[in-house]
Structure 1
Amino acid sequence: MSAPARFDRGHTDDLMSFLAASPSPYHAVANTAERLEKAGFRQVAETDAWDAVASGHGGRYVLRGGAIVAWYVPEGAEPHTPFHIIGAHTDSPSLRVKPRPDSGAQGWRQVGVEIYGGPLLNSWLDRDLGLAGRLSLRDGSSVLVNVDRPLLRVPQLAIHLDRSVSGEGLKLDKQRHMQPVWGLGDDVLDGDLIAFLEQEAGLAAGSVAGWDLMTHPVEPPAYLGRDRELVAGPRMDNLLSVHAGVAALAAVAASGAPLGGIPVLAAFDHEENGSQSDTGADGPLLGSVLERSVLARGGSLEDRARAFAGSVCLSSDTGHAVHPNYAERHDPTHHPRVNGGPLLKVNVNNRYATDGSGRAVFAAACERAGVPFQSFVSNNSMPCGTTIGPITAARHGIRTVDIGVAILSMHSVRELCGADDPFLLANALTAFLEG
């Protein structure tokens, strides 16, 4: 493959649209499915029997809550043909609505929220926030809702009322200080928020029985910098990888070229709080889909074992770019830079799943794509984060490599990446799926 252009404005523009349209994991999955449908993929229900038609040649996907698994079976694929998997996650740290959301004090109406994942709490202060997610109805169906306009705000305490902030720093209590306001009134009206959302979604009053709702900043993604070489926006961790994975999967499906394996995109929910759910990487979803695909194509358990043994997963998640104000927090010989190409993430204590053979796989994909890559290792004096990579490797026995794009402000309400890097990642993922 010839070397790609260093910067494709169209790809980055499309990423920004994807971020803006995906304020919750459920919206991210719906938008991913829509893109796959346009690329010729068709949904398969987990509750249906999978026959040769359902799992034969072509693109398929399954949806479950905030997770999606999609795959493309090329012509001539054998039941034991290995899988080339891109792993990512759809969730991001946020403020999520509690089961009893209506609260208030001192003439202010508020929404009760619970902290999801590990957000930088201060970044959520004094932001105009919308509300989005999934409404579960009494008839068993569900609908998505997105109030994408200024609706809520977590107001910060004025410095005049806390002079210690300048010297001692901001100290936030997750329970007392992070509850947003959304109106005025002395009486707490039970059911007020859900009634409002029923109206917003065009639903009959009283039709909502449950909800999975979260706040999101309404400020859209934007180019930043003197030469617009940076992108600022929400939920890059980890919708940037989901978007790149969709683009790569659609590209190899459209190419019609011979493939060395069956390309797969697995975008899970709940990575930010441990992945232990039916839609998380530590759940059975991916293994069930891959095994059923093997068996539906006439394979046996032996074929399944052979396919898994030859499979490789690229666990794609954002990583830390070197911070100009805190360079000492990074390993002194590993300073990843934005627009320097995707990261290969290494940790010998298996917080990342990469080993030497995995490095060779990723290096070969980047070489074929004409894409530079960088290595990331944590400073020995600091704990290392983790990803779905080790979970995928341990749960399914699939060789896994941890990669990603370097960003600043990880887990902030608004993160920062290089404008080149999303395109470079997508090219590297495409080459991996082709190989």
Structure 2
Amino acid sequence: MSAVVETSSRPFALARTVALPRVGTSAAVSAMTMASLAPGLLPRTATMQAVVTGVFVALGLSVGRVVRGSDAVRLVGVVVGLLGVSWAFVAADRWQDGLRAAMGAPLLGPGYWVQVWAGAGVVVLALYGVVKLLGATARTLGPALLVAVTVAATAVGVPALVDWRTSSYGAANSFVDPDVHRPLSVAPAAWERLGAEGRKFLGGRPTRSSVRVYAGISSAPDLASRVALAIRELEQSGGLTRSNIVVAIPTGSGWIDANAVTGFERRFHDDVAIVGVQYSYAPSWATFLFGRRAAQDSASAVVQAVAERIASLPHPPNLYVYGQSLGAIGGSHAVRGVATCGTLWAGPPAGAVERGSATVLANSSDPVIRWSPRLLYAPPDLSGARPDAPAPQWLPVVSFLQTAVDLLAALDAPAGHGHRYAVDQGTAMPGC
């Protein structure tokens, strides 16, 4: 009888010897690890997955130290946690390979998960070190002095960070790509003021009879001047003699998707003029959060000016409006009360555009069409989205976090997946 008791109690003696983690820690770390591996919308690099898992695990470690539990409960917690994480690991591997197969991307190799776990460990250690440093600083300085130092550092650091990001956006807008060549019809000084995206738009043009017009944010001092410049360029370049005019509302950075432009030229057999006016050079996410009004004002001004100009012609060309992402928000706002032959929105942010008679292109794998605070507690509205890859089941909070992570790589997917759309942005434009 004593031998049986001794044998049966051995696991719990081991638990006391090894000093297993608290049951709350096991539960929290396991749950957060599983959440970090939950299905997403897009293929994820090992580095990105390592950061996500590392941050989630660190959060689990910080909140899971409340519940202690007996030795037996701790052991059970560790075993259950390991089983759950193992299942999540296998499921994540299959899910990622399923996404890659659907999108024509290479499947995961054997080193992928090694990089993930190693990278996650580095992230956890780094965050642990930061927390320990802050704790030591608080003990040294005292709570009151620590708060004062934090406030002062924030007051100095945040404006400096904003200035640095603004200058970096400006540098990106000023970048001159040596592979993009200036058309002979564009003067050197005007070429410099177009900005990086404007130069891509005009310089990427093949030899064809379509017309492209672009006013960069540095091309004129204010919105009214930029719109007037675009109208003059449209007149001088012969754009008003084309049968069709497309007002393309750029994204926040000033980008007009080359796939859409190619699609318009195919759709209208080159009998088209495409005009765009830049309103920002910040990334679309920044403009979406802090400068959405600029997109709407610019789009309204351009559409209204073009509509009024062509209305004065004996044989007005057909007017179309196109926008992708943030450009879709601006375009949706601009066409109110304006007669158009057709409108098309590609990848519009969730619930941000009025569909009406517009053609809407939305990939089911596009995180932009899904992400909103509502995703925390309710599944996304995917009416009108076209299935292009396996779709994850909605989970409260987890789906919101996973979709937020996918936003960072939304443009890295092949055309036709994620936030990357193909030439059907142009060819699908409805007619009059």
TM over 0.5: no
Q: Relative to total residues, which structure has the larger helix share, 1 or 2?
A: 2
Length-normalised TM-score, structure 1: 0.31
Task: Kindly name which structure, 1 or 2, has the bigger radius of gyration based on alpha carbons.
Answer: 2
Q: Which has the higher contact order (CA 8 A, sep 6+)?
A: 1
